[in-house]
Chains A and B, each alone.
Chain A
């Protein structure tokens, strides 16, 4: 009774908040939650005549099939390595870029820089990969010429198993670093200018100001984005890897997403693809869960 009364009081107090969040909850329930019955497909046969989820129950057969499949270990290793490399190298890059851009005092120059770094984000992947093929051709590309000039010899960057991950990660940074730095720039804009002034009076160097004023302002955003990116540990992009694949780099470039696509295209393996997708999701979720718990303990920042 008291609980109910408390609830009512809270409702009366917070009714405006409820009104403000109701539309968001509604669209999430409708568009995200209603279709979730489709997850069953991972445990059932897809049988068109019996409706989407009317097929025979298969339990974890499709999961087993994936884990026993002959490419399983390769796929897992490749997927992990690629996304780990993307996180380790790719995650700090926009932070550093934002801090650098934030140091530029000349407004004109800063604007030009900012606009430039954000441009590559808009290049479609098909063109990006096509361009990489042209520029990195060992015989005719500008990178090929450059490497010859530096005495690095003939390395076919797009064909070697050793260079696939670096090329993938670095081109990713090239493309998205500027775009991803926007959020950090926005966070930096909230820093109170007085903090800089007082730091100056204390005789702090520019490096020190970055360390003690700018960086702390970014920490909450960094933590949240880091948790979220850990929740994507098994979700490499599909299209770019697919387009970058060739017979020579395939041993390191076949990942879960491209494999699912390949088996999907030969025959509509809806159940098998759902099972692999769900497997992927579960691992991602575990990572996110662990990161979030750790972050809550250490920095008191958490997603939910």
Chain B
């Protein structure tokens, strides 16, 4: 085995490392496993704690209900478009700005940075923002998912910090000697060296778009424009509706079928909504491999 021939201290380290990983693995995985088996199991058994390690009363009821809902498919299509197009716009706006803010010789960088940071804290509130969107005529259009707030200051700061620390100053000096402009240096040197960063920020934006339900909730009226998360949230919140329904009396007569419907769907929704984005991660992972960046410089 690989452990053979390791020195004593190295061996202890290895054992400790793998033991630790195993613990983390189990703690993280069990609840996830629970969601999967719960999505196949009878919801009454789930909520009374009868389902612990194996599915019980298995049925595909929840999934059938989810996929029968035509809104789910429209939602998928919309979300896919908003996510891909939105992330593209995000990157086009964020990366050049982050690069600029990382240049020490750029005199305006501190006031501009301050201008940006302020917006992380102060905002005018929902209503003035809504009115602005309305005046710009982007409510109830797909643009409202793409354009507003397409520069996330938090990610901008991360990207700037990365450019500052990971790009050696000598590199730029050498490039300038070769007659390289900022445009060229950014496109030909900085970006190719920042694959890890691009994948992280890209992933952040992607997931942000994928999980965004608030934009749809506030700005979209047309059901054909609603993203997946709104559709799923509607399905999901129906469970809560029963409680409130009970409060308004009439809803109390909703009956057991409806209750079961809501409960079993709850777990299925999670799987349906997050599976595509989960499958993305392994593809991006290779960019986090050690030495990708510096290695390429040397190569």
List residues of chain A with CB under 8 Å of any chain B CB: 10, 14, 16-18, 20-21, 23-25, 27-28, 30-39, 41, 52, 97, 100, 102-104, 106, 109, 111, 113-124, 126-127, 130-131, 134-135, 137, 139-142, 144-145, 174, 178, 182-183, 185-193, 205-207, 220-221, 224-225, 228, 231, 270, 274, 277, 281, 284-285, 288, 303-304
Binds A, one of B74-82, B252-260, B274-282: B274-282
**Within the assembled complex, what's the spacing in Å between the Cα atoms of A141 and B48?**
8
Partner of B291, one of A52, A193, A277: A193
**Nearest neighbor of B198 in chain A, beta-carbon distance:** A186
User: Contacts of B94 on A, CB cut-off 8 Å?
Assistant: 24
- Cβ of B246 under 8 Å from chain A: no
B270 and A24: CB pair below 8 A?
Answer: no
- What are 24 A-B pairs with beta-carbon distances under 8 A? A20-B182, A23-B92, A24-B156, A27-B147, A27-B149, A27-B150, A31-B149, A34-B124, A34-B128, A35-B124, A52-B131, A100-B24, A113-B24, A113-B25, A115-B285, A116-B29, A127-B236, A127-B266, A189-B290, A189-B292, A205-B13, A207-B13, A231-B120, A285-B122
Q: Which residues of A contact B58 (CB under 8 A)?
A: none
Sorted from nearest, which 5 A-B pairs have the closest CB atoms? A140-B49, A35-B124, A38-B124, A38-B128, A24-B97
Q: Which of B93, B105, B199 contacts A27 (CB 8 A)?
A: B93
Q: What residues of A have a CB within 8 angstroms of the CB of B92 in the complex?
A: 23
Query: Contact flags (1/0) for B194-221 with A, using CB distance below 8 Å?
Result: 0011011001000100010000000000
Report Cα–Cα, A28/B121, bound state, in Å.
13
On whether A134 and B13 interact (CB within 8 A), knowing A28-B115, A186-B197, A304-B114, the answer reads no
* Given contact pairs A220-B161, A304-B110, A206 touches B13 in the complex (Cβ within 8 A): yes
Give the distance in Å from the alpha carbon of A20 to the alpha carbon of B164 in the complex: 17
- Name the A residues within 8 Å of B84 (CB-CB): none
* CB of B66 closer than 8 Å to a CB of A: no
Within 8 A of A (CB), among B34-51: 34-35, 38, 46-50
Of residues B94, B151, B292, which shows the largest number of chain A Cβ atoms within 10 Å of its Cβ? B151
B137 CB–A CB distance under 8 Å: no
* Contact call B290/A122, Cβ cutoff below 8 A: no
Q: A24-B97, A37-B124, A130-B266 are in contact. List 4 more A-B contacts (CB 8 A).
A: A36-B124, A38-B123, A188-B290, A206-B13
B residues within 8 A CB of A189?
Answer: 196, 287-293
With A192-B294, A220-B165 as known contacts, state yes or no: A16 contacts B183, CB within 8 Å.
Answer: yes
Residues 29-73 of chain B, each 1 if its beta carbon lies under 8 Å from chain A, else 0: 111101100100000001111101000000000000000000000
Number of B interface residues in the complex (CB < 8 A)? 106
Given known pairs A52-B127, A270-B127, the reply for A113 and B150 (CB within 8 Å) is no
B274 in complex: contacting residue of A30, A123, A144, CB < 8 Å? A123
- In the complex, what's the smallest C-beta–C-beta distance from B192 to chain A, in angstroms? 14
Interface bits B19-33 vs A (CB < 8 Å: 1, else 0): 011001101111110
- Contact across chains for A20 and B96 when beta carbons are under 8 A apart: yes
Q: A116 to B25, Cβ gap below 8 A?
A: yes
User: Which residue on B lies nearest to A280, using beta carbons?
Assistant: B121
A193 contacts B294, C-beta separation under 8 Å:
yes
B9 at the interface (CB under 8 A from A): yes
Q: Please tell me if the beta carbons of B35 and A127 are within 8 angstroms of each other in the complex.
A: yes
* Bound Cα distance from A123 to B269, whole angstroms: 10
Q: Given contacts A111-B282, A189-B291, A224-B161, is CB(A27)–CB(B48) below 8 Å? A: no
The answer to whether B241 has its CB under 8 Å from any CB of chain A is: no
B173 on the interface (CB 8 Å rule)?
A: no
Query: Given the interface contacts A32-B149, A304-B110, does A20 sit within 8 Å of B122 by beta carbon?
Result: no
Given contacts A24-B97, A38-B128, A113-B25, contact A174 B186 (CB under 8 A): no
Is A100 within 8 A of B17, CB to CB? yes
Assuming the A-B contacts A191-B291, A206-B10, are A27 and B236 also in contact, with contact meaning beta carbons closer than 8 angstroms in the complex? no
Is B119 within 8 A of A28, CB to CB? Answer: yes
Complex alpha-carbon distance, A252 and B268, angstroms: 33
Please measure, in the bound complex, the distance between the C-alpha atom of A285 and the C-alpha atom of B101, giving whole angstroms. Answer: 21
Residues of B within 8 Å of A10, CB to CB, are 107
State whether B28 touches A119 (Cβ < 8 A). yes
Q: Which of B17, B28, B165, B277 contacts A103 (CB 8 A)?
A: B17
Question: Are A183 and B200 neighbours in the complex by a CB distance under 8 Å?
Answer: yes
C-alpha spacing A41/B233, complex, angstroms: 31
With the chains together, A115 CA to B289 CA distance in Å?
14
- Across the interface, do B103 and A17 meet the contact criterion of CB distance under 8 Å? yes
- Given the known interface contacts A189-B291, A220-B161, A220-B164, the answer about A288 and B121 at a Cβ–Cβ threshold of 8 Å is yes
